[in-house]
Structure 1
């Protein structure tokens, strides 16, 4: 597809790189020549220097032949104007990033009136991800497929966990639940495991299951699954507002510590049921006074990554709370990930993932059947959901007889709302949605791509 991206910040660069790798024709617009120079040096994209909300600049970028405009500049109003002009000039589909909470309640009206295909609010999306984690505090990450019917949960095995020193093929005997371990992270190694892999203490494992079976599985292996009763939030920005609002709706007590008095007064007005503390969230005495030791949830959401990491490390030493840390830059993501400070949330990743899912859904009309995609394990693996729209060489044949490429695992099938954790004798059928895990990131756009290329007939018995 021909895609134009207005704005070459963190999200714009991430989208340009990924979509270029997926063989789309990408043109990037930005006011800063150095930003255009940087992205054109590292990705196969075309760059245009100028204001993305300018009709002339958009025409230079090829809006008249574009399939999609993605507006992710720093200004909400510019993003909306970019999309409006693109819609009028080229008739293409449009996606706008809109971050201001003032627009949040009006976003559906704005979307409909401007004819936008999609509006993404990174702070709101990040807050919803955090709320899911506080609902299920044992998980480090939670991704969903099939409209929430399938969950992919990532957690770490502690020494006392009954799964330790057992092979994956014996999992069903231990848990009596329909779940599948689809990724094992051991040190710097990422495995798409076979049944013979033996689990070890310290492994980070990803499990696929229905929400009901996920809860049963965690309870069976002795891991707490109940949502937290209270949460302490450090920082009073947009994400904190959205998160606090959602947690209060879930019946969770919320305490926000923010050092800017004006921000505290605004939060008191819009979150009357939350406790707002005007103080320095890095003050250890204040944290102790406000009950850090008894907190069940702790979210470090200041505007400084370093401060958030240090707060999470301190909370780790003082509390058993479920910890969530907001990180804006991924410069030191490997080091931060090794600190074992709970769940790391990258708002820009959530934004780019959501937009990528939409782009893949658009491709359905031109041959692709990827519905949902998540990048996992710092981009070293992908989880993809495929819609099976017709019969092919992968349908109606037992999985154990399919000649699949290496590093692929078919881990869940949604058949008319029934979730199947597949075994070797199960088949993929027309009408199913199928979740696969792979280490070959960006390689699969159609379910048939998972098959090895053979010179003879495929799937005969």
Structure 2
């Protein structure tokens, strides 16, 4: 596959790195020579300095032979024009663009991004993706990571095990027999700097971060059994009233039963969102101001969510809030260094918008009948949702005889309305929806399992 990535920022770099790892032919375009120099020195990709909205720059990048354009610059307008040029001048089959401005995303203008108007095949909205991720963490606070599949019927959940987890030291092959009410597949474990796909002989340890897959209706019970049960937060403080903060508050209002306070520094923005939100109290001020936090009721808050544009503000406001009595903290961070620091100072959950955006884009890069992809632990593994076809090597034989790659484990199977917890004797049928975990080095093998022939999006 030949791909052009327009934009060499954190998201563009991450996409280029992932595609290069998978031996794709990648060219990165950016107006900053320093960024292009960095990406070409570190990755096996070509670099072109210039704007992806200019036809001559696209020509130099090899647009005539490209299969895909991924436009993720900081400018919505550059991304839009780059995709238009990719379509009208060069006939690139697939165009993806990151679009942030809410005006472009208004449902009233849903037809704008279509082949007959602005030919963007996939519009990625980071703010919406991040807001959804935050809501999932607020409603399931024991989890540090959540991804839903099969229209919400199947969940993949990441939790950290404490020393009171009852399955510690038990071979995973015996867990279902000893705990028949624990209807999950424990798929992967992060231990220290190592992430591995589980086997029946593995035993879990205190501090392990595990990913399990289960039917949605079984998740809450599974978390209870694993000793990580936490009640959903009802009293919530949101620091930052930007698009993400507003979307989270509006969604919490629609769900009901939450007491929401929002802190926004900009007076005009604070007034604007106070008019739009119905049951959220908006306070104008800084999330670093203890008096403002106290006025928001921080001592009784069950969760503080810091969503400003500043990693430093998010980190410090969450630290102050917890010292003032807040039970849990969730923060948005863009720099990996802050993510590591946050965990060391007691921040409960870190949301990385780059990782979320990359996972969304990867779904549309994958080959075959793959419906969705979620990258975890900075690309060490992927959770994949795919449809099994008649020609797949998975179909028509027990999983114990399917010769799955060593780094792949089936987490759940959905057949019609039935969610099946896979066992050694489970037989995959054509049309089944399969949710699996794969280590990064086995991604191409997974693609082969779910395609009839070589097929590009």
Which of the residues 260, 268, 272 maps onto 2:266?
260
Q: Does the 8 Å CA contact 2:270/2:283 hold for their aligned counterparts?
A: yes
Uncovered stretches (5+) of structure 2, i.e. residues with no partner: 451-457
Distance 1:171-1:316 versus aligned 2 partners, 3 A rule: farther
Which of the residues 314, 327, 335 maps onto 1:329?
335
Query: Which residue is 2:88 aligned to?
Result: 88
Q: Does the 8 Å CA contact 1:255/1:274 hold for their aligned counterparts?
A: yes
Cα deviations by residue, 1:73-100 (Å, 9 ceiling, x for unpaired): 1111221121122221123221111111
Query: Which residue is 2:200 aligned to?
Result: 195
Query: Which residue is 1:289 aligned to?
Result: 295
How far the C-alpha of 1:313 sits from its partner, in A, is: 3.3
Q: Give the alignment's Cα RMSD to 1 decimal.
A: 2.4
Which of the residues 156, 162, 166 maps onto 2:166?
162
Distance 1:210-1:258 versus aligned 2 partners, 3 A rule: same
Task: Quote the Cα distance in structure 2 between the aligned partners of 1:340 and 1:185.
Answer: 19
How far the C-alpha of 1:248 sits from its partner, in A, is: 1.5
Query: Which residue is 2:384 aligned to?
Result: 384
How far the C-alpha of 1:147 sits from its partner, in A, is: 2.7
Cα deviations by residue, 1:353-372 (Å, 9 ceiling, x for unpaired): 11111111xx33xxxx4332
Distance 1:175-1:340 versus aligned 2 partners, 3 A rule: farther
Task: Quote the Cα distance in structure 2 between the aligned partners of 1:189 and 1:86.
Answer: 41
The alignment partner of 1:312 has SS state of helix
Question: Which stretch of structure 1 is more off in the superposition, 149-158 or 103-112?
Answer: 103-112
Task: Please state if 1:151 is matched with 2:155.
Answer: yes
Alignment of 1:108-127 (within 5 A): 108-112=110-114, 113-127=117-131
Cα deviations by residue, 1:417-438 (Å, 9 ceiling, x for unpaired): 3221111111222222222223
Q: Does the 8 Å CA contact 2:358/2:375 hold for their aligned counterparts?
A: no
Task: Quote the Cα distance in structure 2 between the aligned partners of 1:374 and 1:198.
Answer: 25
Uncovered stretches (5+) of structure 1, i.e. residues with no partner: 451-461
Distance 1:317-1:445 versus aligned 2 partners, 3 A rule: farther
Distance 1:405-1:77 versus aligned 2 partners, 3 A rule: closer
Query: Which residue is 1:417 aligned to?
Result: 417
Question: Which stretch of structure 1 is more off in the superposition, 372-381 or 145-154?
Answer: 372-381
How far the C-alpha of 1:253 sits from its partner, in A, is: 3.1
Task: Quote the Cα distance in structure 2 between the aligned partners of 1:448 and 1:303.
Answer: 41
Alignment of 1:436-455 (within 5 A): 436-441=436-441, 443-446=443-446
Question: Which stretch of structure 1 is more off in the superposition, 437-446 or 245-254?
Answer: 437-446
The alignment partner of 1:427 has SS state of coil
Distance 1:187-1:345 versus aligned 2 partners, 3 A rule: same
Task: Quote the Cα distance in structure 2 between the aligned partners of 1:224 and 1:330.
Answer: 28
Task: Quote the Cα distance in structure 1 between the aligned partners of 2:168 and 2:377.
Answer: 21
Task: Quote the Cα distance in structure 1 between the aligned partners of 2:276 and 2:320.
Answer: 29
How far the C-alpha of 1:277 sits from its partner, in A, is: 0.5
Cα deviations by residue, 1:98-151 (Å, 9 ceiling, x for unpaired): 111232314523223313201111112101110111122221110122232211
Task: Quote the Cα distance in structure 2 between the aligned partners of 1:155 and 1:234.
Answer: 25
Query: Which residue is 2:181 aligned to?
Result: 176
How far the C-alpha of 1:265 sits from its partner, in A, is: 1.6
Cα deviations by residue, 1:380-415 (Å, 9 ceiling, x for unpaired): 222223322223433222222333433332221222
Q: Does the 8 Å CA contact 2:392/2:449 hold for their aligned counterparts?
A: no
Task: Please state if 1:354 is matched with 2:360.
Answer: yes
Q: Does the 8 Å CA contact 1:388/1:447 hold for their aligned counterparts?
A: no
How far the C-alpha of 1:171 sits from its partner, in A, is: 2.9
TM-score computed with the length of structure 2 as normaliser: 0.89
Which of the residues 299, 302, 307 maps onto 2:305?
299
Cα deviations by residue, 1:172-193 (Å, 9 ceiling, x for unpaired): 3325132111122233332322
Task: Quote the Cα distance in structure 2 between the aligned partners of 1:289 and 1:67.
Answer: 54
Task: Please state if 1:406 is matched with 2:410.
Answer: no
Task: Please state if 1:239 is matched with 2:240.
Answer: no
Task: Quote the Cα distance in structure 2 between the aligned partners of 1:130 and 1:81.
Answer: 31
Q: Does the 8 Å CA contact 2:287/2:313 hold for their aligned counterparts?
A: no
